[in-house]
Homo-oligomer: A and B are copies of this chain.
Amino acid sequence: MQYTYVTEDLKKKMKNLRREFHRYPETAWTEYRTAWRAAGELEKNGFQVYTGNAACCSDARMGLPSAAYLEACEQRALSEGVPKLIMERIGSGRTAVAGILKGKFPGPVRVLRFDMDALPVEEAETEKNRDYLSRHAGIMHACGHDGHMAAGLGLAEILEKNRDKIRGEIRLLFQPAEEGCRGARSLTEKGWLEGADELYCGHIGMGEKRLGNITACSGGFLATTKLDILFHGKPSHAAKAPEQGRNALLAAAVCTVNAYAISRSGRGEGRINIGRFSGGSGRNIIAGEARLEAETRGETSEVNQYMKDSLERVARASAAMYGTACEFLEQGESRTAASSPALAEKCRRAAESMGPGCVYRTTGVFGASEDAAELMGRLQEQGGEAAYFLFGTPLSAEHHQPEFDFDEEVLAVMAEFYSRILLD
């Protein structure tokens, strides 16, 4: 690997940043400390920075946590150094950050997106991570977003140092709530793609295990819908009058089994999951309430729609079966997407210029959903081009696992690659 832009010092800085983010993981819409640090770094590097209502369309946020949880996270962030004035701007889940750097020469508007949220996973301590183990119980950067941000902020420093070479305008977007596909719309609705020509997004790992591999995803993003289903029944005494209850828990169980039984489709692959189930108030009470957290996916938006329609039909029928009512709360949504062929050649050249260790490939397989698809699809619809890359790295465990960790060298690959695309 040949690095032109990434120095040893920058490598070290990115590593430190990543580890700091890793120590203070924050879940979707509570990335207060994270946003504060990202905004600070961008400012230091001469970016025009936008936060709070200036960065984020509040009404377009999906799957916001409870006010109580937001509040508790704000307190934690304040105790960890976020100034009160900043919190006034970004509190209540307004955690998006955007930084703009304008070049000296006219040129295209290019946007890069980095995601910020961590996951509700309890980190497992290992020999390696002892130094930067999560300090937030039950929360962990188990997907690599800490690395994405570190690379993005490393890139910011490179851009600042190479400001003379910048043509047009560069927008770095730090997105909240990528998990669950809940946050991208708060950026698109705010207008961050207006006038944009190119969009670059990416992810470390995701099946790419070899450091140096850069793989453009020409497709395979699954369209997805995140849905909570609430069943409202009527409690009753389980021994004396079970027939007077309307068993919401049983309705939800029937819904669960039959959700998985939704017919496979000849039009493409679909997915369904009931990831959480909670219901009932006591052992000897016919349960009056139950909640399912569900998601559907589809190889195409059509298949996802088929899955979602089927799920809603199953849920409604399950509710009716036991005399209960059901309610749907949409918690997130994303679509399919594909890297624009028009960008392929330029990207390939950027990667190959990094030496023989850097292998550029394309794949049609992503096999999961990505909130980036919302940004990519939106830009492509308005005539722009978008690309999505996987940056290879060995992992110590799969994404979302308590032992997840990666080779931090990938941060250098990521920053260098983006730099070459933007500056060469």
Residues of A participating in the B interface, judged by any CB pair closer than 8 Å: 119-121, 179-180, 207, 222, 224, 226, 235, 237-245, 247, 249-250, 252-254, 256-258, 260-267, 269-287, 290, 293-295, 297, 306, 313-314, 316-318, 320-321, 323, 331, 367-369, 398-400
Contact = CB atoms under 8 A, between A and B. Distances in A.
A341 to B, nearest CB: 21
A273 B242 contact: yes
Contact of A275 (B253, B281, B297, B398): B281
A342 to B, nearest CB: 27
Given A258-B254, A321-B258, A282 B275 contact: yes
A313 B306 contact: no
13 contacts: A120-B281, A239-B271, A241-B266, A243-B266, A243-B306, A250-B260, A253-B256, A260-B262, A269-B269, A274-B280, A275-B286, A278-B278, A285-B400
A424 B321 CA distance: 57
Contacts of A285: 273, 275, 400
B257 A250 contact: yes
B239 A222 contact: yes
A266 B242 contact: yes
Nearest to A251: B317
A263 B243 contact: yes
B276 A282 contact: yes
Given A179-B284, A247-B260, A252-B253, 17 more contacts: A119-B282, A207-B240, A237-B368, A237-B399, A238-B275, A238-B295, A239-B271, A239-B369, A242-B271, A249-B276, A249-B277, A250-B260, A254-B258, A277-B287, A278-B278, A285-B400, A317-B320
B264 A275 contact: no
Given A222-B239, A240-B367, A264-B264, A252 B280 contact: no
B295 A283 contact: yes
Contacts of A399: 237
A217 to B, nearest CB: 13
Contact of A273 (B260, B284, B313, B398): B284
A245 B263 contact: yes
Contacts of A267: 243
B257 A242 contact: no
Contacts of A321: 258, 313-314, 317-318, 321
A276 B271 contact: no
B261 A249 contact: no
A324 to B, nearest CB: 10
Contact of A263 (B235, B247, B254, B400): B247
A266 B365 CA distance: 11
Could you say which of A257, A271, A282, A283 has the most chain B C-beta atoms within 10 Å of its C-beta? A283
A227 B276 CA distance: 21
A360 to B, nearest CB: 23
A226 B252 CA distance: 22
A323 B320 CA distance: 14
Given A281-B120, A321-B258, A286 B266 contact: no
A121 B238 CA distance: 16
Nearest to A299: B269
Contact of A279 (B235, B261, B264, B277): B277
B264 A257 contact: no
A260 B258 CA distance: 8
A382 to B, nearest CB: 28
A171 B132 CA distance: 61
A243 B303 CA distance: 10
Nearest to A237: B400
A260 B180 CA distance: 26
